[in-house]
Amino acid sequence: MTEQWQLDPDRALPADPTTRDLARTIYRHAATLPLVSMHGHVDVDLFADNQAFGDPAELLITPDHYLVRMLVSQGYRHAELGVPHRDRDSGGDPVERDPRAIWRRFCENWHLFRGTPTRYWLEHELAEIFELPAPPSAKNADVLYDQLAETLQRADFRPLALLDRMNVQILATTDSALSDLSSHGRLARQLGPARIVPTFRPDSLVHVGHHAWTAEVDRLAEVSGVDTGDYQGFLAALRQRRRAFIDAGARATDHGHLTADTTPLPTASAERIYRDALAGNVSPADTEAFAAHMLFQMAEMSAEDGLVMQLHPGVLRNHSGEIYRQHGPDQGFDVPVRVEFTRSLRPLLEKFGLSDRFRCILFTTDETVYSRELAPLAGAYPSVRLGAPWWFLDSPEQMRRFRESAVETAGFYNTSGFVDDTRAFASIPARHDLSRRIDAGYLAKLVAEARLGMDEAMDTMVDLAHRLALTAYAAPHD
């Protein structure tokens, strides 16, 4: 008879018994609704290939930058956690090749994750999906490793099987604008057209100062079949790729910029900067101006083709040059900066904000803008939706604070529904479930304080858990 690790069915619900009872009822009303995952970063080839996961470290540790950075913050090196070097010449520490050693390092440091969402998600994954018998510890690291490694070889734990088991209704991946979308095509034929869909991400093409930009533009010409030798060709090629994405089921675009600036340039200026950039001779100021200009262009194209525009500014990427040189991007060293929306979005909203053919969803890692800027904007402009708490803010306290800061001005119905935004495939159900629990707790508080009726709370719960994400990511003029 094996041990059983049972998670508390009331976890993450409010402690006060009156509110908890209400929250439990509200939560259960939505607990088993299918998952709508409209913004995430799982690699489409995981599903297209549908191979078994290699080992526990490869599945759960090495690629999870939340988890890696926490171990690094306490003295481990990326390489000790199996993170590969960016290239042969990047130097640095020898990379750990033994996944069991990596797994042990993680288990021995389980206490570092106390109070973090990573801990919460992992508990859910390990107990509910992989049915491990107990939380990680120095003592049981090997036993857990063996059991998990064995589970991962089972056919019913391959990616597509997990997708069913996780009750995922639709999953949007994030894809370079240069993707040929062949994997999505294959999956659409296998699973139907609206199960795994791409998202159009053109960031690498609009930041003209990046060292690899000209190579990207060349590839854009190749993939699109449109000459990108001048600015007009560049726009035409982007339009072609957007159409290809739409044909492959895409609902949205995704834009990660340092600021939310959307000031358009006169066409002649945009053409000039584009020319300079192709010649490898572009100033930082022009780079910034062009990025802002391109957000405006992307909005214009969205107003034409109906792709929902997602914008998430305000993170300074690769804060540590050393980590970037050794291991490349997305290694836990991206750090938010203050962000501004009210003035930055004004050019875009002046032009498209009142249109019923345009929709944008705004994300932030700077919680100070919820009440000051985003809720007032989303609570006025018909085109604006306020995205779910994102990245560093996708956690119990932050999700509560998001509701407490945004709903009073924006209402529930100008928010986008939950997005999991994750590279960690197995954490998707945990993230959606946690979001449902926190929302249930917030609604329960409103009921307990007689600010909302119970029937309304139940109805709102289904909206937050399911309906809003579907409608927010539908083409606005559908």
Choices 99-107, 151-159, 210-218, 327-335 (CB under 8 A): range interacting with a second copy: 327-335
- List the helix and strand counts (H, then E) for the chain: 22, 11
Sole binder of a second copy in the list 460, 465, 469, 472 (CB under 8 A): 460
Q: Is 342 in the site for a second copy (CB under 8 A)?
A: yes
On the CB side of 435, CA atoms within 13 Å amount to 30
Estimate to the nearest angstrom the gap between the alpha carbon of 407 and the chain centroid.
Answer: 22
Sole binder of a second copy in the list 36, 291, 349, 419 (CB under 8 A): 349
Provide the greatest CA pair distance for the chain: 75
What tokens appear for 316 in the block? 């300074």
Choices 275-283, 292-300, 379-387, 466-474 (CB under 8 A): range interacting with a second copy: 379-387
Q: Is 397 in the site for a second copy (CB under 8 A)?
A: yes
Mask for 41-80, x = binds a second copy (CB under 8 A): ----------------------------xx-xxxx-----
Of 351, 406, 347, residue with least CA distance to 376: 406
Give 3-state DSSP helix, strand, coil % of the chain, rounded to 5.
50, 5, 40
Sole binder of a second copy in the list 322, 329, 474, 477 (CB under 8 A): 322
What tokens appear for 102 in the block? 């990596």
Binding positions for a second copy, 92-111, rule CB under 8 A: 111
Sole binder of a second copy in the list 82, 306, 376, 429 (CB under 8 A): 376
Binding positions for a second copy, 428-457, rule CB under 8 A: 445-446, 448-452, 456
Cβ-based nearer residue to a second copy, 165 or 343: 343
What is the closest distance, in whole angstroms, from the C-beta atom of residue 445 to a second copy in the complex?
6
What is the closest distance, in whole angstroms, from the C-beta atom of residue 378 to a second copy in the complex?
7
Q: Is 414 in the site for a second copy (CB under 8 A)?
A: yes
Q: Is 316 in the site for a second copy (CB under 8 A)?
A: yes
Cβ-based nearer residue to a second copy, 223 or 348: 348
Cβ-based nearer residue to a second copy, 6 or 281: 6
Number of residues that bind a second copy (CB under 8 A): 93
Amino acid at 223: V
- b/e string for 403-427 if b means 16 or more Cβ within 10 A? bebbbebbebbbbbbbbbbbebbbb
For residues 391, 53, 137, 65, the Cα torsion angle rounded to the nearest 10 degrees is -20
Residue with tokens 């306020």: 386
Binding positions for a second copy, 111-150, rule CB under 8 A: 111-117, 119-120
- Cβ neighbours of 337 (radius 10 Å): 13
Sole binder of a second copy in the list 392, 454, 458, 462 (CB under 8 A): 392
Q: Is 390 in the site for a second copy (CB under 8 A)?
A: no
Mask for 153-192, x = binds a second copy (CB under 8 A): ----------------------------------------
Choices 200-208, 244-252, 294-302, 331-339 (CB under 8 A): range interacting with a second copy: 331-339
SS3 of 363, please? coil
Of 199, 285, 197, 191, residue with least CA distance to 242: 199
- 8 A C-beta contact, residue 420 and residue 39: yes
What tokens appear for 94 in the block? 């020898």
What tokens appear for 405 in the block? 């800061």
Sole binder of a second copy in the list 50, 263, 371, 471 (CB under 8 A): 371
What is the closest distance, in whole angstroms, from the C-beta atom of residue 10 to a second copy in the complex?
6
Of 318, 316, 317, residue with least CA distance to 327: 318
Cβ-based nearer residue to a second copy, 101 or 380: 380
